[in-house]
Structure 1
Amino acid sequence: MNFLFLMTDQHRVDTLGAYGNTQARTPHLDELAATGTRFDRWYTPTAICTPARASLLTGQAPFRHKVLANHERNVGYQEDLPDGTFTFPVALREQGYNVGLIGKWHAGTIKSPADYGFDGPHLTGWHNPVDHEDYQAYLKENGLPAYEITDRIRGTLPNGGPGNLLAARLQQPVEATFEYYMATRTIEMLRRYAADPDGKPFYLATHFFGPHLPYIVPDEYFDMVDPATVPLPKSISETFEGKPPVQRNYSAHWTFDTMPIEVTRKLIAVYWGYVTLIDEQIGRILAAMDELGLCDETTVFFTCDHGEFTGSHRLHDKGPAMYEDIYRTPGIIRIPGAEPQVRDEFVSLLDCTATILSLADADSPDKTVDSRSLVPLVKGEHPRWQPDILGEFHGHHFPYPQRMLREDRYKLVVNPDSTNELYDLEIDPDELLNVYRHPEMEPVRSRMMRRLYQLLVERDDRFYHWMTSMYDVGDVAYDPTLSGLDEDSYK
């Protein structure tokens, strides 16, 4: 079994036609969804790039592998996986696979993709590295113009300075874009792997840097969607009343209220255009795979590391707010021979690890304990499945621990420094009303707090220590003081 793993960065699920966007121009991903398994409840373990990508490599939740923040905003956490950590690409190499990666790495600071067995150029950083020597060589080889941008969109920071760049117009043809370059390099590697003289199977990943902000695209994508036709997210009416104060602060950091609402519409429109640009490059890759006759022996994945706010809750980027906008993501798997379908089980980016290992007949050791193979679901089976899913966050710009439990109707978020959150997603899918303190929600709040505590204890996620003393979570099986000095402990 070969693998083609297509991954984007900071990608909202509602930008795809397959997930209900009637204005989307994503025919290639929609076709992949129509011929594969579309997961409607696919979540990231954490809405931050590096920890999520390290989880994909290891099959471990972030609290376990301990790479908890992006290098660019690291606040003192570990930045690379320790030597000897199990990762699936190394296991595939040992299984006789060719293993390649074209695109965004961002899974550590010192170690490169080659340290984990990947072929391909090391494309560093969090955004398109347009100064990279291989991209520069590609432009020169093809007589294409250099990177240049105009029409920058940004707001004003609370200190009066310029805000983060959110979007800009790229003065290059589509063939010169970093996205087109990446697809070209992927196709080249795909052809090499298909022609391998030893007939080795392959795992080939393409990790696009977009549609992560800033949305920098050529004219035809910058102007593809008329902003007047863009529906604003309902949560743009967010007041932050009854919410953790950090969310209001983050809104100021992302300069939302310093820009007219027409700019927000334009940003969403450009974001959709960026998604279309990437969809077209994915179409080129899938067409090359078909041309090479590889479709019947290649499993295709499409997902991303996490979502993006694009104005939802008066926010941009991602951060210390565990809303569906950034935790629920697209997830599609097409295994040759499996019937097309839609699944509504709670699944995770983490589950890709065990799925890949299972399909490759490679060992999935106990160290991938947080990953479950999705093969039975893709093949139409109905195994017993966990009815809820966990999320975690450790900080971005500053330490900020959070834990989330998402079940069918409700979501609970525990914020030790602030107010906790509880949302009824059946009547409030936009998560505007925090009902954590509402008296009638006490049975739900208590039940979910106990369930979250139970799951954290089972994982040995020590966040549960805080919950032991602060909430009624039932009987505990350890000394919550951790003193070990009570005389009863010596009897």
Structure 2
Amino acid sequence: MSENSQRIVPKNVRNIITFMTDQHRIDTLGCMGNQYAQTPHIDSLAEDGCLFTKAFTPSAICTPARSSMLTGKLPFKHQTLANPEWNIAYSTAIPVTDWTYTQALRDAGYNVGMVGKYHCGTNLPDKFGADDDTFWGAENPVANEEYVAWLEENNLPPVKAHDIWRGKLPGNRDGHIIAARLDQPEEATFERFIADRTIQRLKQYAQDYKETGKPFSLDVHFFGPHLPYFLPDEWFDLIDPSKITLPKSFGDTLVGKPPVQENYAVYWSTSSFNNEQWKKLIAVYWGYVAMIDFEIGRILDAARELGLMDDTAMFFCADHGEFTGSHRLNDKGPAMYDDIYRIPFIARIPGLTKGTKCDEYVQLIDLTATFMEIAGLDPDQVEDGRSVVNLAAGLPVDDWRKNIVCEFHGLHFPIQQRMLRTDDYKLVINHESINELYDLKQDPSEMNNVYTAPAYDSVRRDMAKELYSQLAQRGDRSFAKWMAAMTDFDIPLKNTARSDWDEVAK
């Protein structure tokens, strides 16, 4: 193992449970400083684990982010770059011959299962060595026949909603649904359904583990708190809107920024709601997080009853964040703000973690390498991630990254973006539009684009040179070549990938 000369994970810790949420802002959690959050169970993982404060997704879109975690590769390498529902001519299936951590663990003798949301393309988990208890799609598939049958078997009411929150599109047309009240109790929600399926699978794996010593890896993927926020009254009204402070970037004019951001605000009808309505929508979003936390608590209770807590490493993460009013935007999309690129990231490893925080830059793909190390396998099998075991244990790690690079390839339309983020600055290169530079010390909410400001000329050049170098090193040469030609910094074009004509013209 390259990260560690010897295994530091206790020998009994071989099992893995990973909780993943979808479109989850970090400021919804108590452990991340939200005093009004009601997330005791997620917080308990941080209390016994290590909370990573600077964690990022490789791409703030479901399918490429989740596919990166599954394959251990950056999006531009695995090429599954768009959600299948909004395919823009990219591949939407991971080849079954690709390396995945699920297959690696299965080959190493693990029980491997995935429950809940699956959004890694059209090849399903069973093609990659996992027992498949997943449901395909971007949002809770409430018409799914298995869920409908579960409701009927348990004498629970069918899905029905009222108090629909939606904005207005141009022409005074109804816009996308943002939130609604479910005419169901929590016991009938899709989140409860996922938790029940998880507990059922966990009991099976726990029995195998107790009887034969066969370890397991179980991924639990919730569809929420991805919008639309459909919640029972108890959770819809859980958080008092008067406790909500609107994001500092709520009043962003988006002047001096790529025009697509304003277009996206129109698409999501974000100007349809006044300040008090936005506070309520944010409160409902926090309530959705709290309901998911409640279901995670049920799963953790089952793990305790099964005697698994001392033998099982547990992780909590999200595929990406959500705007929820920040920068007058909603959902996620063609902008690289921290609101959607920073993610919650918790590692609880019995015998190693002690309720600490780590301020190093980590990314979603680092979880993949961490799973390998927990399993006693070589984390170097993961092409683009590094195990965080030593970091989680508070041990030094040589040559850890000092910044983070992220990428975007499009959602509803093809668009290329690359980002370099340090503690002090963020540079975003938009190939078809206005480039962005933010001074994060002076402007942590990323309101003012200073890319063309003369005072930041040397910063812009240094950041561009560093981003270019990292893109070229990792093999993202097409974008690097564009940067070399179009961005004002001191890198000659010939240092990018050469064509035969480049050699002739020497």
Normalising by the smaller structure, the TM-score range is over 0.9
Instruction: Return the TM-score normalized by structure 1.
Output: 0.97
Which position in structure 1 is the counterpart of 2:7?
Answer: none
Q: Give the Cα separation in 1 of the matches to 2:463 and 2:310.
A: 44
Q: Give the Cα separation in 1 of the matches to 2:42 and 2:502.
A: 60
Which position in structure 1 is the counterpart of 2:162?
Answer: 150
Q: Give the Cα separation in 1 of the matches to 2:130 and 2:383.
A: 23
**Given the superposition, is the C-alpha separation of residues 482 and 160 from structure 1 closer, same or farther in structure 2, using an over 3 Å criterion?**
farther
**Given the superposition, is the C-alpha separation of residues 223 and 485 from structure 1 closer, same or farther in structure 2, using an over 3 Å criterion?**
closer
**Given the superposition, is the C-alpha separation of residues 159 and 112 from structure 1 closer, same or farther in structure 2, using an over 3 Å criterion?**
farther
1:421 aligns with 2:436: yes
Which position in structure 1 is the counterpart of 2:374?
Answer: 359
Report deviation, 1:137: 2.2
Gaps of 5+ in 2: 1-13
Q: Give the Cα separation in 1 of the matches to 2:265 and 2:505.
A: 51
**Given the superposition, is the C-alpha separation of residues 488 and 106 from structure 1 closer, same or farther in structure 2, using an over 3 Å criterion?**
closer
SS of residue in 1 equivalent to 2:212:
coil
Which position in structure 2 is the counterpart of 1:90?
Answer: 103
SS of residue in 1 equivalent to 2:369:
helix
Contact 1:210-1:274 at 8 Å conserved across structures: yes
Match of 2:322 among 290, 297, 308: 308
**Given the superposition, is the C-alpha separation of residues 244 and 298 from structure 1 closer, same or farther in structure 2, using an over 3 Å criterion?**
same
What amino acid is the match of 2:297? G
SS of residue in 1 equivalent to 2:407:
strand
What amino acid is the match of 1:436? Y
Q: Give the Cα separation in 2 of the matches to 1:90 and 1:248.
A: 43
Which position in structure 1 is the counterpart of 2:455?
Answer: 440
SS of residue in 2 equivalent to 1:345:
strand
**Given the superposition, is the C-alpha separation of residues 190 and 177 from structure 1 closer, same or farther in structure 2, using an over 3 Å criterion?**
same
What amino acid is the match of 2:340? I
What amino acid is the match of 1:340? G
SS of residue in 1 equivalent to 2:136:
coil
Which position in structure 2 is the counterpart of 1:260?
Answer: 274
Contact 1:412-1:448 at 8 Å conserved across structures: yes
1:34 aligns with 2:47: yes
Report deviation, 1:215: 0.4
Report deviation, 1:157: 1.3
- Cα offsets for 1:327-361 (capped at 9, x unmatched): 01110000011122100000001111111011112
- Cα offsets for 1:8-42 (capped at 9, x unmatched): 00000000010010111111111111110000000
SS of residue in 2 equivalent to 1:104:
strand
Which position in structure 2 is the counterpart of 1:230?
Answer: 244
Within a 5 Å distance, the mapping from 1:99-114 to structure 2 comes to 99-109=112-122, 111-114=123-126
Q: Give the Cα separation in 1 of the matches to 2:331 and 2:309.
A: 35
- Cα offsets for 1:154-177 (capped at 9, x unmatched): 011124422111000001011101
Within a 5 Å distance, the mapping from 1:130-149 to structure 2 comes to 130-149=142-161
Match of 2:304 among 274, 290, 297: 290
Within a 5 Å distance, the mapping from 1:212-223 to structure 2 comes to 212-223=226-237
SS of residue in 1 equivalent to 2:106:
helix
Q: Give the Cα separation in 2 of the matches to 1:261 and 1:276.
A: 23
Report deviation, 1:468: 1.3
Report deviation, 1:134: 2.0
1:128 aligns with 2:154: no
1:188 aligns with 2:200: yes
Q: Percent of pairs identical after alignment?
A: 52
Q: Give the Cα separation in 1 of the matches to 2:231 and 2:473.
A: 46
Q: Give the Cα separation in 2 of the matches to 1:375 and 1:225.
A: 35
What amino acid is the match of 1:429? P
Q: Give the Cα separation in 2 of the matches to 1:308 and 1:485.
A: 44
Match of 2:413 among 368, 393, 398: 398
Q: Give the Cα separation in 1 of the matches to 2:164 and 2:193.
A: 23
Q: Give the Cα separation in 2 of the matches to 1:485 and 1:282.
A: 57
Which position in structure 1 is the counterpart of 2:499?
Answer: 482
Within a 5 Å distance, the mapping from 1:68-83 to structure 2 comes to 68-83=81-96
Q: Give the Cα separation in 2 of the matches to 1:418 and 1:241.
A: 13
Which position in structure 2 is the counterpart of 1:172?
Answer: 184
Contact 1:469-1:480 at 8 Å conserved across structures: no
- Cα offsets for 1:416-445 (capped at 9, x unmatched): 111111111111111001111110101111
- Cα offsets for 1:51-82 (capped at 9, x unmatched): 00000001100001001110111100011112
Q: Give the Cα separation in 1 of the matches to 2:503 and 2:97.
A: 40
Which position in structure 1 is the counterpart of 2:484?
Answer: 468
Q: Give the Cα separation in 1 of the matches to 2:158 and 2:82.
A: 32
Which position in structure 1 is the counterpart of 2:71?
Answer: 58
Q: Give the Cα separation in 2 of the matches to 1:260 and 1:169.
A: 20
**Given the superposition, is the C-alpha separation of residues 485 and 409 from structure 1 closer, same or farther in structure 2, using an over 3 Å criterion?**
closer
SS of residue in 2 equivalent to 1:21:
coil
Report deviation, 1:480: 6.4
Which position in structure 2 is the counterpart of 1:373?
Answer: 387
Which of 355-364 and 216-225 deviates more?
355-364
Report deviation, 1:315: 0.6
What amino acid is the match of 2:413? F
